[in-house]
Structure 1
Amino acid sequence: MKLNIVPARTGIEWVKLGIQTFFKQPLALAGLFFMFMAIMSIATLIPFIGGALALALLPAATLGLMAATQEATKGKFPMPSILITAFRAGRQQLRSMLVLGALYAAGFLLVMGISALFDGGQFARMYLLGDRVSGDMILSSDFQVAMWVAMGLYLPLSLLFWHAPALVHWHGVPPLKSLFFSIVACFRNFGAFTVYGLVWAAVFIATGLVFTLLAALAGSPELVSVAMMPVALLMATMFFTSIYFTFRDSFSTTEPETA
């Protein structure tokens, strides 16, 4: 396995491939993403440990969506069982994935804990526990600082884990090494990932503007807002579909083995 440096324009290609691959198997990939969201939501309902458990499952669930994308690129219909790919790969890889999940949960909770130093934990409780906050609270300087601190700290955490589940599963890389390789690959391909992020942001903003225009023309913003929710979920599915291609092109290696 060798790091592959790609040109900045590859970021556009990753977005295109994510959208194109989604439309090859739209029902399967959308259904898997909804299952992914449902699993995360159900996990959070478990008393005391629900939030941490959902965070720990995220790397494995993300890998499942990547494996589904790999199947779709081959013209295959990904079955629901592919979401548990990480738990069917053997004891050693399962242990590594569990370690990765624990590290992610710990890292995310640390980010929330640091943000709590700025607003007494109001943003963290809203994000993790779903606590309701008033509009005045959201606009307060302490809450805003906590939110931006959390977002700033989450970015490097996200890059650490961006490729890590795939490296652990498909290439047997130990968890800590997978984090190192992941963030190095993201930084070495900084141009491509920057373009990738900007293009996706533009796609989401453009979609929002289209629905805002439709709401103005239809004179029924409630109806349009109801339609916007499933569209937003489909857009999120396309985004998760595109993650596989960022991994595939960031390393010079043969195609990962079928899950």
Structure 2
Amino acid sequence: MTEPAAPAHHPHNAARHPRPRHVSPFESLVWLKAGWFYFARNPGVWVAISVIFIVMLFVLGLVPLLGWAVVLIGFPVMVAGMVLGCHALAQGKPLHIEHLFAGLKVHAGNLSLVGVFYLLGGLIAGFVSVLIGGGALLTGYILGALAGIGLGLVSGVLLGSIVFSVLWVLLITALWFAAPLVVLRDTPPLDAMKMSLSACFNNFGAFVVLGILIYVLIWVAMIPAGLGVLILVPVLAGTLYASYQDVFGDAALVSPHAAAPVKAD
């Protein structure tokens, strides 16, 4: 009796579910440097993209009652567009303002689902943190004394904040590679977020360093009346694309130096 043959490895599935590479913590500096050079390839178009991106997020946020939800759901779609813009530059093609909306043409439904999962994750993080914080407050109330209530209030707020921060970091790591994996690898939304979470923890040192550097850059960008954000947004888009190529994709495309600067038509 012959044994059944093992299922053949499907190359398309391998393309959709690549194995993340492990990189050095110092690679975060390389990603940021690549992000800057992607911006420098066409700063005028990138600044225009940043302005439109920020204005759209602001306008969407004004939608009554559901504005914040619309922003979270639409965020991965626009991020994917900027990733596709970086991908075009890496291939020696021109960058266009229309790249910001390219995510609407490529896997708009899956990218929106990433946003829905992002929204649900944020709601769950908030609910869990309130639940745990409320439990600590209830303990203080049961103790009865004013000192017990005060201690319960302080510990409840502190514990709730810590829990929310931890859950939010997990959510951000699940979101980091999700948009590139969806638009460049045709990866299903939930799989993309799981792979992103796994890749970030597999490269824990690199992303700790990157997180600290981004935190500092955000404060620096806010100094000149917030105008630095117009530069920081595309730099972070290029950083995201560079980190994706380094961890999941073709490392040869990480550096934008290979091709001569390309201007938009």
TM-score by length of 1: 0.72
Kept after mapping to 2: 8 A contact 1:19/1:241 = yes
- Structure 2 residue 231 is matched with structure 1 residue 234: yes
User: 1:20 is matched with which residue: 24, 34, 37?
Assistant: 37
Residues 77 and 46 (structure 1), Cα distance of their counterparts in 2 relative to 1, 3 Å cut: same
1:70 to 2:87 alignment: yes
Residue aligning to 1:158 = 172
How far apart are the structure 1 equivalents of 2:159 and 2:52?
34
1:104 and 2:139 matched: no
Aligned to 1:135: none
Q: CA RMSD in A?
A: 2.8
Q: 1:46 to 1:252 in 2, by over 3 A?
A: closer
**Per the alignment, do residues 78 and 115 of structure 1 end up closer, same or farther by CA in structure 2, a change over 3 Å counting?**
farther
Q: Does the 8 A contact of 1:2 with 1:252 survive in 2?
A: no
User: Distance between the aligned counterparts of 1:234 and 1:53, measured in 2?
Assistant: 24
Instruction: Give 5+ residue unaligned stretches, structure 2.
Output: 1-17, 135-153, 255-265
Quick one: distance in 1 between partners of 2:218 and 2:89? Answer: 23
- For residues 64-90 of structure 1, the C-alpha deviation after alignment (integer angstroms, 9 at most, x for no partner) is 11112223334544222212222212x
User: Which residue of the partner structure matches residue 241 of structure 2?
Assistant: 244
Tell me the amino acid that sits aligned with residue 63 of structure 1.
Answer: A
Partner of 2:193: 179
Instruction: Say whether residues 1:55 and 2:58 are aligned partners.
Output: no
Distance apart, 1:238 and its partner CA: 1.7
- Please tell me whether residue 34 in structure 1 is matched to residue 31 in structure 2: no
| CA distance, structure 1, for counterparts of residue 55 and residue 129 of structure 2 | 27
Which is worse superposed, 53-62 or 230-239? 230-239
Q: Check whether the contact 1:18–1:245 (CA below 8 A) recurs between aligned residues.
A: yes
Q: Which amino acid aligns with 2:247?
A: S
Q: Name stretches of at least 5 consecutive residues in structure 1 with no aligned partner.
A: 121-139, 212-224
Q: Secondary structure at the match of 1:3?
A: coil
Give deviations 1:207-237, integer Å, cap 9, x for gaps.
37xx9xxxxxxxxxxxxx6x33102442343
Partner of 1:11: 28
AA at the equivalent of 2:178: A
Q: 1:41 & 1:112 partners in 2: Cα distance?
A: 23
**1:145: Cα distance to partner?**
5.7
- Say which structure is richer in helix: 1
Aligned-residue offset at 1:17 = 0.9
TM-score when scaled to structure 2? Answer: 0.71
Deviation at 1:6, TM superposition (A): 1.5
Q: What letter corresponds to residue 197 of structure 1 in structure 2?
A: G
Structure 1 residues 69 and 252, CA gap change in structure 2 (3 angstroms): closer
Larger Rg: 2
User: Percent of pairs identical after alignment?
Assistant: 23
2:239 is matched by which residue type in structure 1?
A: S
Give, in angstroms, the shift of residue 243 of structure 1.
0.9
Aligned in 2, Cα 1:39/1:187: closer, same or farther, shift over 3 Å? Answer: same
Q: How far off is 1:170 after superposition?
A: 1.4
Residue 193 (structure 1) shift: 1.6
Alpha-carbon distance in structure 1 between the residues aligned to 2:27 and 2:116: 32
User: Could you say if the C-alpha distance between residues 111 and 203 of structure 1 is closer, same or farther in structure 2, counting changes exceeding 3 Å?
Assistant: same
1:95 pairs, out of 98, 109, 117, with 109
Q: Are positions 1:200 and 2:214 aligned together?
A: yes
Taking structure 1 as reference, are residues 147 and 64 closer, same or farther at Cα in structure 2, changes over 3 Å only? Answer: farther
Cα 1:27–1:143, aligned 2, differ >3 Å: closer, same or farther?
Answer: farther
